[in-house]
Structure 1
Amino acid sequence: MSIRTKVVSGFFILFLVLSIAGVFSLLELSSIGSSIVRLLDDNYASINASRFMLESLEREDSGILFLLLGTWDKGRATIAAADTTFRHNFDLAKNNITEPGEQKLVDSLWTSYADFKREWSDLSMNAGDENRVSQYFEKIHPTFVRTKTHVIRLLEMNSGAMYRTASELRNKAHRAVMPGVIAIAAALIFIFTFNYFIHYYIANPIIKMTRQIDAYRTKGILPDIRVETRDEIGDLASAIRSLTTKRTYQERS
């Protein structure tokens, strides 16, 4: 194998190692990007909708308290606005089912909210009912708590999924870095090894040949050049041996 082939092969191996590491890193980074998009499109949207639903429920409960205090117009306006916000965000959550069991939870949430809405609607329509306080504690408040519990469970489900996705992103980021670290370590090992072989099989023989030629030129000592490789260095060593041997023979003749 020629010196040129050896050198080119060495650089090709180095290029191949770095290229493979780069491809793996790019694939992992692309996967991280897809996971981030999924995280934002799926779990974050449901979490945000759940938070707005919780706020809407609290505002509806405040509106019910206005009704209990006899502030009917303000109470009805507060409840109507909160109901609109709740239903809007419920539709967002319903159309963004991404986790196992989430559909069942959303269905239960809507059933609970329908019960809650029916109770406060009855209270809003019966302004003159003197038993509205007992109605609140016996019927309205339990449905409010049940609905709120379902919303919290929906929020926790998507928050847990977001945490798991974030953990996966951390692991993927680690996997994206590792090929680069391994490639750098492998490249350093290869460079030192390659440098050793270049020095051992190319530089050292040339240095020895130079010294022996100088010794032959100044002292007439025949070069005893031994090269282990069969390449241009070996050819050069053979040519020097032949030349010096022939010249010595001619001088003695």
Structure 2
Amino acid sequence: MWTFRRKILLGYGAGLFLIIVVLAGAMTLLLRLGRASESILRENYQSILAAENMIDAAERQDSATLLILLGYEQQGVSEFRGNEAPFLQWLGRAKDNITIPGEKEIIDNLEVKYTLYLKEVSDLLFLQRTDPPAAVNRYHEVILPLFRSILETCIKLRELNHETMYAASMRAGKQAVQAVFSILIIGGVSVLLVIVFSLFLSRLISRPVSELKEAALRLAQGSYDVQVPVRGSDELALLATQFNLMVEKLKQFHEMNIDRIIAEKRKSEAIISSVDDGLLVLDENLRITNLNPEATKIFGGIPEGCLGKHILEVMPEKKLFHFIRTTLASGQAPR
């Protein structure tokens, strides 16, 4: 049986389920955003950082080459070799982080160019010792264009990862907007459903209670034909059923009492009429409620229409009125 308590628990259980769904959806979307951000940092930022550091190392090596041409061979060679290892190290990191289409071709091309660059600088060092003018020409004709090509390739690698990171950032932004709208929609639907259920629940409770209240008021006014509609099989329906049974019993009791009262009244009237002495019946307000034929004769033919009237309206006898008041006040007959 669907009890009232079970209905309430079911309704609020559904609301709680919707809240859990909203929280789970929010957590899922946040995790997706977190993974997207992590992917941007892992896949693109490392390659951008590698390209920046290779550009820096290549520029330092070019400056070292110029030092060699200016005659500072030992200092130039030391600085050139000191930046060779960092360049190769960052090149290796870039090779290990290939995630974008076209990135492998750029890195392979960069590796070939840098290997050739190292060979040309090594040859330049030997040429500088034997023929400095020829070494300068060799630098301008071969090494400098090769250096610039290496820089352009590093910049190309950096820009490719920049564009990819920007696209990934835009996707993450769209996911964030979608997450916000999804949470708002699900949350709005949940709130709407909770409001609808609350209104339904309030009506479910208030309607039977209002009907019971109206029926109780009508019952208090003496209407014993009132009935409360019975809907369903929960506690409120059981209460309505019991109320209807109570009304039916009160109706039977009321009808039984009326019949008894009428019978008692008829019995009293018969007794009053059969008494040989004059008998006048008054209530606490000294209004005539009954009298027998002998009383009518004694008091000079009082009309029967005097029932319900004050005794002074019918018999303006002050002395008699005084005796009656004294008797009512003391409860004893006057002497």
Give TM-score, length-normalised by structure 2. Answer: 0.70
RMSD after superposition = 2.0
The runs of 4+ residues in structure 1 deviating greater than 6 Å are: none
Query: Unpaired runs of 5+ in structure 1?
Result: none
Is the contact made by 1:67 and 1:75 (CA closer than 8 Å) also made in structure 2?
Answer: yes
Can you list the C-alpha shifts for 1:43-99, whole angstroms capped at 9, x where unaligned?
A: 211111111000011111111222222222222222111212111111111122111
1: CA distance, partners of 2:16 / 2:140: 75
One-letter code aligned to 2:22: A
Q: Name the residue aligned to 2:112.
A: 111
Cα distance, 1:226 vs structure 2? 3.0
Q: Does 1:242 align with 2:245?
A: yes
Is the contact made by 1:22 and 1:179 (CA closer than 8 Å) also made in structure 2?
Answer: no
Q: Name the residue aligned to 1:13.
A: 14
Cα distance, 1:40 vs structure 2? 2.6
1:42-57 matches, within 5 Å, as 42-57=43-58
Q: Percent identity?
A: 26
Is the contact made by 1:94 and 1:103 (CA closer than 8 Å) also made in structure 2?
Answer: yes
Cα distance, 1:240 vs structure 2? 1.3
1:170 pairs with 157, 173, 177, which one? 173
Q: Name the residue aligned to 2:223.
A: 221
1: CA distance, partners of 2:173 / 2:238: 57
2: CA distance, partners of 1:79 / 1:247: 113
One-letter code aligned to 1:46: S
1:83-122 matches, within 5 Å, as 83-122=84-123
1:6-155 matches, within 5 Å, as 6-127=7-128, 128-129=130-131, 130-155=133-158
One-letter code aligned to 1:220: G
Can you list the C-alpha shifts for 1:164-211, whole angstroms capped at 9, x where unaligned?
A: 222232233334434432332122212221121122221122023123
Is the contact made by 1:47 and 1:155 (CA closer than 8 Å) also made in structure 2?
Answer: yes
What's the secondary structure of 1:62's corresponding residue?
helix
Is the contact made by 2:127 and 2:134 (CA closer than 8 Å) also made in structure 1?
Answer: no
Is the contact made by 1:26 and 1:176 (CA closer than 8 Å) also made in structure 2?
Answer: no
Q: Which has the higher contact order (CA 8 A, sep 6+)?
A: 1
One-letter code aligned to 2:81: A
Deviates more, 1:238-247 or 1:136-145: 238-247
Higher helix content, 1 or 2: 1
Can you list the C-alpha shifts for 1:10-35, whole angstroms capped at 9, x where unaligned?
A: 11111211222222222222233333
Q: Name the residue aligned to 1:232.
A: 235
Cα distance, 1:242 vs structure 2? 2.3
1: CA distance, partners of 2:159 / 2:46: 13
Larger Rg: 1 or 2? 2
Cα distance, 1:229 vs structure 2? 4.3
Aligned residue pair count = 252
Cα distance, 1:230 vs structure 2? 4.3
Q: Name the residue aligned to 1:192.
A: 195
Is the contact made by 1:67 and 1:124 (CA closer than 8 Å) also made in structure 2?
Answer: yes
